[in-house]
Structure 1
């Protein structure tokens, strides 16, 4: 079964943000500001991409959606960072209605629309465990009788970490259960079904379809940072603590996230893009 991920990389959508802007020009200026873009790239390089490279099942597709107005230097940097990932296709789109363009891109990515697929959202500052794609396929196979009776169903790996990243390294919460977070939440779409995982607000997806929750091991890391779109109105600090050396090794093994690389990347320049772990900070 085809597995398709969709990652929005500073795409200036019409709608789709909790932080509002008066005009599209204001939104683009906010998204492409130097401080914000530097933080996005640091998180993308040290958190998101390593977890994709670590997948035990590399048979997946990832569409990265960005704006056709993304400045050339950022477009080149994005291409360079993803050059070693054959699963990635970058789509540069003009500003359009958020759900409309995301649904269109996901359906376009289906190699055979008459066959079922699995879809997941992937934020550019989050990570999934290296076994995520493998476990997603296994869970869908285990649930085959249920999936045969529905056009859509959600599969939610709901245990993971909230973490902050900086020149000091990684600080994280204890692993906890958070139902229907974006990270490691996927959707089954039957053959012929044109609905996509982006048709639904992630925290309300269980209002629209049957869901299966898997809670045995941590499957995601959700980054808290200065530019979390979902946290701008009411920044909620998380009870994070610096990882111990043992926990750093576990993050590297499970998610592919190297604490030494985090420290090096966030230390470069020291331009204020990465505050200390625990500093308040989505998309």
Structure 2
């Protein structure tokens, strides 16, 4: 079964952001600001990509959506970062309404529209467990009786971690976040044009049967100064320096390595 992931890498969509801008030029200037983009690249390199390279089931695709006006130096850097991830490809689009363009991209990516597929979203500052793809595929197989009765079914792993990254390492906390972006997937029936981008992630269970798994911990959500959800209503989250036991979990289960984080974020 085809599994398709979608990652919006600073794509200047019309809509889809909690931070408002009066014009698309203002949004582009905000998204492509040097400080913001540098942080996104470091998070992508140290957090989001290693776990995808390490998937125990490598049979998936990742579409990275960028704006068609992303400066060449940044586009080249992005190509360099995914050079050893054959599942990933970059797709450039002009600014368009977010849901419209993302739904279109996902449906075009289906090799056989008459066959079912699984879709997931990938944020550039999140990590998923290295068995995430395998568990998505297994969830669909184990839910055969349910999925035969519906156009779409959501699979949600609701426990994970939240983490901040910097030159001194990682601060983290355990978290329970049902129907968050990370750890959420969606099975879609063949011939159905619904996509995971048709729905706000935290409301997807209002529109289809949804199965939640409380084990194992499946994601690490990034917590940083440029989180879109924190720009209007910042939430204080108590984080502690990562200890030895959790450092091993981050490395072995999520491919997030403490030394790599310190090196990437310690660069001038």
Which residue matches 1:209? Answer: 208
What SS class does the counterpart of residue 89 from structure 2 fall into? strand
- 1:238 Cα deviation (Å)? 1.3
The CA distance in 1 between the partners of 2:244 and 2:167, in whole Å, is 16
Structure 2 counterpart SS, 1:252: helix
How far residue 177 of structure 1 moved from its aligned partner, in angstroms, is 2.0
- Is residue 139 of structure 2 the alignment partner of residue 118 of structure 1? no
The Cα shift of 1:25 comes to 0.4
Cα separation, 1, equivalents of 2:177 and 2:248: 24
Deviation at 1:230, TM superposition (A): 1.1
Write out the 4+ residue segments of structure 1 that deviate beyond 2 Å after TM superposition: none
Structure 1: tracts of 5 or more residues without a match: 270-283
Aligned mates of 1:158, 1:47 — CA distance in 2: 19
Q: Distance in 1 between matches of 2:118 and 2:11?
A: 23
- Give the superposition deviation at 1:245: 2.1
Match of 2:151?
151
CA distance in 2 between partners of 1:224 and 1:28 (Å):
22
| Corresponding residue of 2:261 | 262
The residue number in structure 2 matching 1:276 is none
Displacement of 1:69 in angstroms is 0.5
- 2:230 is the counterpart of 1:231: yes
Q: Distance in 1 between matches of 2:207 and 2:224?
A: 30
1:61-210 correspondence runs (5 A): 61-174=61-174, 176-210=175-209
CA-atom RMSD in angstroms: 0.7
**Shift, 1:214, TM fit:** 0.9
Can you give the 5+ residue segments of structure 2 that lack an aligned partner in the other structure?
none
CA deviations 1:196-252 (Å, max 9, x no partner) are 000000010011111000111110000000100011111112121111122212100
Query: Cα deviations across residues 64-94 of structure 1 (Å, max 9, x unaligned)?
Result: 0000000011000000000111101110000
Secondary structure of the corresponding residue to residue 164 of structure 1? strand
After TM superposition, give the deviation of residue 181 of structure 1 in Å. Answer: 0.5
Partners of 1:112 and 1:26 in 2: CA distance:
39
Does the residue aligned with 1:77 lie in a helix, a strand or coil?
helix
Instruction: State the secondary structure of the residue aligned to 1:188.
Output: strand
Distance 1:171 1:256 in 2: 16
TM-score, reference length from structure 1:
0.94
Query: Which residue is equivalent to 1:20?
Result: 20
Normalised by the size of structure 2, how large is the TM-score? 0.99
Which residue does 1:278 correspond to in 2? none
Alpha-carbon distance in structure 2 between the residues aligned to 1:189 and 1:250: 32
